[in-house]
Structure formats: structure tokens, C-alpha cells
Structure 1
Amino acid sequence: MISANSEIPVVERIRYAILDGTWPPGQRLGPLALAEQLDTSSTVVREALTRLAGESLLEAKVNRGFFVPELDLQEFRDVTELRCVTEALALRLSIERGDLQWETTLLAAHHRMQKTPRRLPDCNRVNDEWRRAHWGFHHALLAACGCEPMLKIAASLAQSTDLYRAWAAPAREASKRNVEHEHQDLIEAALSRDAETAIALLCQHYRETARVVLDAGLIAKAEVKGK
């Protein structure tokens, strides 16, 4: 459902609706219809859709418009492994090069994530504030690597899996997971400068996310919703 709160920026209202599963995979989002629903101009909506396409939350098809991405679990598996390879190198360099300021920033990012509720009280959806704090923590882990292209690749890969994680969040498999404990072990290994353990924990963390997404049966649910 699209939020009726006009104080929330249009791009965020559409983002929330996508992550809530308002539209099934493959659904075309028409700027004119959305503009009417959101009581705004089609120009504002097109700008929002373009931005969300840049974040991999939508697909922009030439001469066809904007679409909710199709589910491709093989691609999700492949991207997960690519994240492990990319971020393993970035994390190793970050641990080697990180100074006291890096440690301080990492601790602050972890504290913010810890103090932010992961789920909204009235539903199973992941709290968007926690999502931002979670991204901030993972970015802080890698930030001291000093390689901007590597950080950009890592951010892009993370964005490409965001929709899968959000849609899998209400599943029972996701609620059983102790994400807080995984993050605690990860930061302890990083601050102890134990690169091998930190990398193993990071890859395990991402592969566990992939397992939850796959076990959630997203494709079957999407097929039912799309009928």
C-alpha cells in the first residue's frame, strides 16, 4: 500500500510500497497513474522512479517504462557469492589500514544499529531506519580499505539484493535468525584485527541471508500474487 502521508517524499513513499510488496514482480509502474495516487506531478514521479531504478529497486526498460524487478534466485545466489569475494578483499584491507578513527566510526555505526528496532511494531516488515543503520554498519566495516571503486561495487551489489531481503523479511525463516549476534561477532573480529575470522563471518552472514531468502519460497508466492 502506498503511504497517504504527504509529508513523506514521493521517492520514499514509492520505495516503501515496493519493499512492502504492493506490486508483484514484473508489474509496470505508470508515472501518470502513480502521480494521481500520490497527488503530485508525473515529473516528480518519473524522477523518483529513475532514482529507484538506480538503486536496483526498479528496472528501467527502454521505451517501455519502469517495472518491479522479476525474481531471479540464481542471479541472487551469484550476486551473494560476488559480494563475498568483493567484500572479503575490502574487509581485509580495511582491517589492515583502519586507524583509531575507523574503530570509533565502526563502533558508533554498530551502536546505532543495535539501538534501532529491526522490525516495525505493527507488522513483520523491516524498519527502514534499521535498514539504513544496517547499511551504515556494513559500509563502516569496509570504509578504511581506501579503495573507492571497490566500495562502489560493494554498495551496488548490496542494493541489488535489497528487494529480496525485504520481501523475505516476513517469512518465518527470517524471524528465527539471530542477526544481532552475527553482527556482534563480526565487529569483535574486525576490532581484534582478525581478518581471517572476520571475512569468514561476513561471508557466512551473507550466505545465511541467501539461505533465508531461498527458504522463504519467494518465487512460489510471487506467482500466486501475480495471478
Structure 2
Amino acid sequence: MNPSHAKIYEIIKNVKNTNGVGTLTEQVYAGIRSDILSGRHTPGSPLRLSPLAKQFDVSTAVVREALIRLAERHLLVLAPNQGFRVVEISRQDLVDLTQMRILLEGLALEQSIEQGDMAWEAGVVSTHHVLARTPFLSKDSPGSTDEWAVAHNDFHVALGVGCGNRRLVQLTDLLRDSSELYRQMSAKAPAEESRDVAAEHRELMELTVARQSKEAVASLARHFQRTTDLVLEHVLVD
């Protein structure tokens, strides 16, 4: 069992009889989400209530609530008479998704640089510090480690959260969840080995805290596009 999942399952057992269904739903949601984003549940595959309930040692009602939340985050789809399935992926979807991320996360970053206070700036620096010191590639499975994926998400959240626009932050969060499926695929691409992802993140952090808005937004766009190009060229081939 993956260590991070073992922790999740242990938490579930510990809170099961104390904090109620709401807490259980949160933990099951986190466990299934991690499995989707890491590719353990492949795109288009069905998710059945009973096996998941057995896996997490919870009721099917708890699992259903978690799956509904994942569908709201656009990581699952619910089809009539078919139940829940992991979202499908495609070249066109990735192109559309990247275009929206460049536009919206770029806007959030630009506004954060203009409006963000020292606490926001400190958050960018601290989340980058954690990201830079977290192991990237997993030895046991393709893609990045769960810990790096969490640190990576936290860093990108920190970049845009200073914009002060709650709706914009929520939209960028949704897009980031959808893009994580593709980002994990990029780690499998041969060209990824020669790419200095750490340097890309460092440049982005430095430009951001230096309040160089135009350059930081351009750096973010290049960062997203490089991942997209890798997946289109080496993974989602025609």
C-alpha cells in the first residue's frame, strides 16, 4: 500500500466512531481523489460503490457523497444507468484546458502581484521552499510522488490566492484538478528527464516576489505549455 494512502486509511479508522459521517466523507474523498490524480483509477474507468466502501471500510452512503463531490470537481462524471466514471481525456481537452489555465491563472497571478500583501508573498516563498525539497519522481509507480503533487498544488494555489477574487480562485482550483491528470502523464514522457522543472518553479517564484508581473505571467504560461507539449508529443499521440 502506498504510504500516503496507508495514512489516509488509518485516519479513517481513527475518526470513524468519533467525528461522524462528514469527516469520513472528507477522508474518502481525499483517498479517491489521490487515486484518480495519480492514475490508479484510469480515465474512463468505472468506480463502484461497494468495492470502494470495502476498501475504505465505510458505508456506501459515505462513498456516494464523496463521489458526488468529485463529480462536482469535474474529476468524475455520472451517467444515467452507468454510475460514476473517471473523466475521459483527449488532445483537444488538454489544449482547451491549457488555454483556460493560462488565461485565468495568469490573471490571478497578475492581480496577486498587484494586490498581494507580505503575508501572500511569504506564502509563495514558503510553499516553494517545501516544493523544492520534496522528492519528485516515485520509485514504485509512474508519475510524481503524492507528496510532491500536494506541494506542487500548494505552490500554484499560493501564486494566485492573493488576487482577492474568490470566484477566480475557485475556477483556477477546478482547472488545476482537471490538469493534474495530464500533468502526471507528462512525467512518463522521455523528454521530461531533460526538463528542469525545479528551475521553472524557482524562476516563477523569484519573478513573483520581485513583483515583475509581466515576466511572471509569461513564465507561468511557458510552464503550463511545456507540460502540455510533452503530453501531446509523447503521450496522447494520434
Instruction: Tell me the TM-score range normalised by the shorter chain.
Output: 0.7 to 0.9
Answer whether contact 1:2 1:14 (CA < 8 A) is retained: no
CA distance in 2, matches of 1:156, 1:104: 24
Map residues 82-161 of structure 1 onto 2, 5 A cutoff. Answer: 82-161=100-179
Give 1:34 shift.
3.0
Q: Match for 1:132: what amino acid?
A: V
The aligned counterpart of 2:231 is: 213
Identity of aligned residues (%): 39
After superposition, the Cα gap between the structure-2 partners of 1:48 and 1:192, relative to the gap in structure 1 and judged at 3 Å, is same
CA distance in 2, matches of 1:146, 1:24: 35
CA distance in 2, matches of 1:101, 1:35: 41
RMSD across aligned positions (CA): 2.4
The aligned counterpart of 1:166 is: 184
Give 1:80 shift.
0.5
CA distance in 1, matches of 2:125, 2:50: 45
Instruction: Give the number of aligned pairs.
Output: 220
Map residues 190-209 of structure 1 onto 2, 5 A cutoff. Answer: 190-209=208-227
Comparing 57-66 and 131-140, the one that deviates more: 57-66
The aligned counterpart of 1:77 is: 95
| Partner of residue 79 from structure 2, selected from 61, 66, 71 | 61
Q: Match for 1:25: what amino acid?
A: P
TM superposition score normalised by structure 1: 0.85
Give 1:29 shift.
1.6
Q: Which runs of 5+ in 1 are unaligned?
A: 221-227
Is structure 2 residue 20 aligned with structure 1 residue 17? no
Give 1:92 shift.
1.5
Comparing 54-63 and 125-134, the one that deviates more: 54-63
After superposition, the Cα gap between the structure-2 partners of 1:141 and 1:75, relative to the gap in structure 1 and judged at 3 Å, is same
Q: Match for 1:7: what amino acid?
A: E
* SS of aligned partner of 2:10: coil
